Chains A and B, each alone.
Chain A
Amino acid sequence: MPVTEKNWTPKIVAFCCNWCSYAGADLAGSGRLSYPADIKIIRVPCSCRVNPLFILRAFERGADGVIICGCHPGDCHYTSGNYYARRRMTLLFSMLDYLGIERGRTRVEWVSAAEGGKFSNTMNEFARTITELGENRKLGDLRCK
């Protein structure tokens, strides 16, 4: 169904690392902390698994914001995955910015397995940012709208 201004709600994709952030999301759930239902969590083995293509494909398919959550630097289950992810995402976000895509639409946060509260706060705050930014019109495939 075509999305009109009125019934628009932000669609957010969250890539969560299996070892920390996904467990953090679990903890947020079991602690009955709420976060918006429009956030679709995709579990990845490590934040480093997130290929730039994944992020762009998410936008293509109608995402309004993409957030990547991984273990805190130094705590990676695979020792260094999130360090690589950090460099990659920095460069990618900078490129999206360079092409004129709104900065707030992409974010990286480090959330550990113990940080259910941080997970829920981050998601709430990110959803608010995206709602303020409005619908993603610059980087999406019209056919998927």
Chain B
Amino acid sequence: MRKFAASQAESIIRSIPMPVYLPVEKEGLVEYARYEEGVKLALDTCKTEKSPKDVLFPQWEDLMHFRVEGKNITLTEQERCSQDYVLFGARACDIRAFKVLDKVFLADPVDTYYAARRQHGIIVAMACGEPLDSCFCGVFGVDPAEPEADVILWKVGEEYYADSRTEKGKKLLDSWPTQPAEEAPVKAAKADIAKKLDSKPFAHLNLKGFDGDHMKELFASPKWKQLSLACLGCGSCTFACPTCQCYDIRDYDTGHGVQRYRCWDSCMYSDFTLMAAGTPRPTQLERYRQRFMHKLVYFPANNDGMYSCVGCGRCVRKCPMNLNIVKVIKALGEGNK
């Protein structure tokens, strides 16, 4: 266990000899961005507007480039990420979300664009000091005091306590000017976090009944109609969600070549499953149902019970109509009657 003064944080970040992505405040909104001289750090922000999903899986990225000449095509692949970088200050829920993304992108066949970024990232996590009312990560087994990262930071008073969990984390931590520290203050901080989280309104949601065995029953529930009524079919929830990973692949003709890029997509959009012959999900009810069934039923059925929700609560804050996964869990779960 090491420690350093909170006032030293920026100089440490500045000294890291590779790109650093961290929560930055701009116009009152906190988002992950690359560190540059003069940005306003917001390391204590519990919940950034969007998750750090962008760092591993950007909202849009080029995949390849075509040149078409007559009947001939030449194809150039986009280069994969080849530089190490640091994701600084990520929270436990967002890091758990990476494990969910791993299940999708690192499953055979491996998505090499994602895999390269995943491999080159060093994650310095921040334990949550002040969970918000919309937080319910504990429901999904996430411990906000012990993120699954390379280096973990705990803020105690005006000091950061740091400990590494992996070899590359240790190497990074060793390069910082830190002092040796006791375990005890961190233990106390962890207990404090657990107590705070436990007092949050959604901390005791019950997930009983959300599993593959209840798939058809949940699918056929008449409650979806009322739940989805106000849904606008916008993509706020999916774009803010740290685990939503659906994407679209598009071609853009630049006039001197064709760029094939991929961008985030949302199952909430009407053209998501649209084919020339029609769509199997013609109304918002089906699209809304798909999103939550996928997170709470289909995904766990395929991944040994791992839910595709980490309880970050961003959808609770973002949905313009105040629809969210908490409402679905309460309405359909057996344990919340």
Question: Which of A's residues lie within 8 Å of B, judged by CB?
Answer: 1, 61-62, 141, 143-144
Contact = CB atoms under 8 A, between A and B. Distances in A.
A62 B256 CA distance: 12
A61 B252 CA distance: 12
A61 B255 contact: yes
Contacts of A144: 254-256
B259 interface: yes
B87 to A, nearest CB: 27
Interface string B231-263: 000000000000000000000101110010000
B29 to A, nearest CB: 21
Contact of A1 (B252, B256, B259): B256
Interface of B: 252, 254-256, 259
Main secondary structure of the interface of B (DSSP, over half): loop
Contacts of A62: 255
B23 to A, nearest CB: 27
Nearest to B259: A143
A143 B251 CA distance: 12
A141 B259 CA distance: 13
10 contacts: A1-B256, A61-B255, A62-B255, A141-B254, A143-B252, A143-B254, A143-B259, A144-B254, A144-B255, A144-B256
Nearest to A61: B255
A38 B254 CA distance: 19
Contacts of A1: 256
A144 B255 CA distance: 6
Contacts of B256: 1, 144
A90 to B, nearest CB: 30
A110 to B, nearest CB: 31
Nearest to A62: B255
A42 to B, nearest CB: 16
Contacts of B255: 61-62, 144
A140 to B, nearest CB: 12
Nearest to A142: B254
A2 to B, nearest CB: 9
A61 B256 CA distance: 11
A26 to B, nearest CB: 28
B67 to A, nearest CB: 13
Contacts of B254: 141, 143-144
A63 to B, nearest CB: 12
A144 B254 CA distance: 5
Given A143-B259, A144-B255, 8 more contacts: A1-B256, A61-B255, A62-B255, A141-B254, A143-B252, A143-B254, A144-B254, A144-B256
